[in-house]
Structure formats: structure tokens, C-alpha cells
Copies of this chain bind each other. A is one copy, B any other.
Amino acid sequence: MANINVGILEFEKVSSQPVEIVERKGTGHPDTICDALAEELSIALSNLYREEFGAIMHHNVDKALLIGGVADPQFKGGKILEPIEIYLTGRAIDEKNGKKLPVKELAVETAHKWLKENIPNLDIVNHVIIHPKLKPGSKDLVELFERFQLKGEIPLANDTSFGVGFAPFSDIETIVYELERALNSKEFKKDHPYVGEDIKIMGVRNKDNIRITIAMAFVDKYVNDIKDYVEKKEIVTNYAYSLAQKLTTKHVDIFINTADDIDNQSVYITVTGTSAEAGDDGQVGRGNRVNGLITPYRPMSLEAAAGKNPVSHIGKIYNTAAMDMAERIVAEIEEVEEAYCYLVSQIGKPITEPQVCDVKLRATCDVNKIKDKVLKIAQEEIDKLPTTWQKFLNRHFRLY
């Protein structure tokens, strides 16, 4: 039985406090691109290893660097002057019994595939250079990973690390998350092809006023001139307003590309739909947390989950587990209004034996009355940790 602590959230609800800040970096943001490519590579490697070894082998491909290109966007369509460069790095077993595995090739193919599907205006042949800089990593770990998965042993924590999660989302958290998802949905894009994928949303609530600031890359070839730009920005602003206002009773204001200088025709247009084309660099772990948001008024881990191995990497597993735990507690125990969960590992111990599992609740009743239910859920989630990797392979979480 794990060392589980159940306590009370004593402070005022974040949503009742006077100020709240929430951010989400959308699909085409350089940091999100890095997260996505790292995590997709981890999934592809996991699948390759399962085919070759029958089990996921050690890898950590959680460092990626995007170096922005140079572009000359123009109304009706500009051009790229220098391609974007993306370094994919980390460790991955690349050999099995002397047979070389296509680890670097997989990195290149996976990256191209994701970019093609998710940043459709980016010419993956000519506008981006993928540098697969993976290194083999230790062969000693092969046996260890075989034990974990083929012989059913519980993986051991690779580090002293922690994870945090909370539920549910406040209004502004919901708005920021859903708004980006909507603006980057296939349905929306069909009617609004001029909206690029690089959408960064910052929400600030000041008492009852929610101010949503959106930085959104327009795709130049779908915008005829400055007048057309202004009109299209207006259309998106209205769309965002009506969607956001449905999700809250508070007052919402929407601001898109506030740095635009319409008179000088200096506005946020791009050739490819992402600012990565011209100067904005990106890295793994600089963007959204595993719940899809950046929330400075909430507890956050700095862990970059994307690209980590899903079997034994504590920072990856505990953050998602803490989120799942919080969500289940809120969903399944009627009296719980809000839950915060913290998990701390001890290096070298089974991942099912955290050093600490700290659950904090805001409930409509005495916490002692529901403590057993909470402990049960927490313990169940901890017991499931050895199979969490399956959720990562199914892209169950919002890692990017």
C-alpha cells in the first residue's frame, strides 16, 4: 500500500480569486511542434521496439530544437527564403543482436508525417530540414526493459521526480483550451483556410472580466490585401467570442494579433501558417503541460513529458497519473469539487511505490467521510502505473 496523504485545499478557489492567468500554445507554435515531434517519435520507437523485441526498449527523445527559417510573406502568397531546421535528439537503442534498427530514419519519417498532416501549408520537402541526432544509449538497459515487460516485473523509477495534476478546469482554462482546439479543427479550417496553425492563446481574468489575447498566424496566400486581412480577423474574432461566451457567464473580450499595425500593413501573415518559418525558435518542454495548458496559478511541474520513454520515466508517468487521479476523484466522488494530486518517486524503487502521494481536496462535506473512496481511487491509479504506457501509445493524453 502506497504512502497516500489526503488533505484539504484551504485557499480560495482559483476561479474565485481576483486574477487568473492561463495560456495554451497551439499546434503550429514552434514549442508545440517540438513537443509533438518528440512524442510522436517516442510512440514510433515504442511500436518499432514492440515489433522487434516484443517490448518497449529504453529511449528518451525529449530534446528537440527548432531553428526558425527566413520567409518573405506577401498578400496572395509569398515565399520561403531559408528552410526551418529541426534537431531531434536523445537516446534510443538502435541495434538488436547486431542488426541495426532504422532509428534515425524513423525520426525523419515520423517528423515529416506529423508535419504534413498538421501544418499543411508547410512544404515538407523544401521548407524544413530534419536533423536526426539520436545516440544509441546504453545496451545494458535492454535486459532491464525486457524484465519489465516480458516477465511482468514492475518498472523501477529512473529518477527522483514528481508529478502534479488538478481537476476540474475553471471557466477560463476551458475557454483557452477549447478555443485553440476549435480554431485548429479540420472543420474550422475547411471554411477558414487563412487561419494558420500557429495560434497562441493567453487568457487573463481580472475579477469578472476575461480577456483573451490570441496571436494567430494568417496564411498569406488566402489573404488578398490589408482590407481582406482586417475582415478575416473580424470574422475569427466574432467566432471566438461566441464560442468563448458560451463557456462562461463572465464577460469575455477577444483580441487577435494586437501588435498589428494596419496603417503600415505590418500584420501577422505567414507563408506556412507557423512563425517557425521566420525566426521563432522552439524547444521541447517550453509549452503546454500534460493537461494542455500553462497555468501559473495552479501547481505545475516543469517536466517535459513529450519524448520520454513511457515505461519507466517518472516525470512522464507521474504527471499524467496525477492528472488522471484528480479527474477520476472529481468525476466519481460527488462531494469533491476540486482535487489536486502530487506524486513523488524514489529513484530505484518500483514506480508503484511513490515516496509520497499527496491528494488535496475541496469538498462539500468533511473530507474524512470520503477519505476511503479517495484512497481507493488513488491506490487504483497507482496500481495501474505499469500499464500507463498503453495510454501514451494511444495518444490518450494532451501531450502537445
Chain A residues within 8 Å of B, Cβ to Cβ = 3, 5, 7, 9-12, 17-19, 21, 62-63, 65, 67-68, 70, 72, 79-83, 85, 87, 89-91, 100-105, 108-109, 112, 124-127, 129-133, 135, 137-138, 160-162, 164, 202, 204, 206, 211, 213, 215, 258-259, 279, 281-287, 294, 296-297, 299-302, 304, 342, 344, 346-348, 355-356, 358
Contact = CB atoms under 8 A, between A and B. Distances in A.
A79 B104 CA distance: 12
- What is the oligomeric copy number? 4
A356 B279 contact: no
Nearest to A81: B102
Given A19-B356, A206-B356, A283-B285, A83 B132 contact: yes
A100 B72 contact: yes
A162 B22 CA distance: 10
Contact of A294 (B87, B126, B302): B302
Nearest to A30: B63
Given A5-B19, A344-B21, A65 B79 contact: no
Contacts of A282: 63
Contact of A82 (B12, B105, B304): B105
A108 B204 CA distance: 40
A135 B19 contact: no
B80 A105 contact: yes
Contacts of A215: 160
A204 B344 CA distance: 8
Contacts of A67: 63, 87, 89, 133, 135
A204 B81 contact: no
A258 B347 contact: yes
A204 B108 CA distance: 40
Contact of A108 (B83, B109, B302): B83
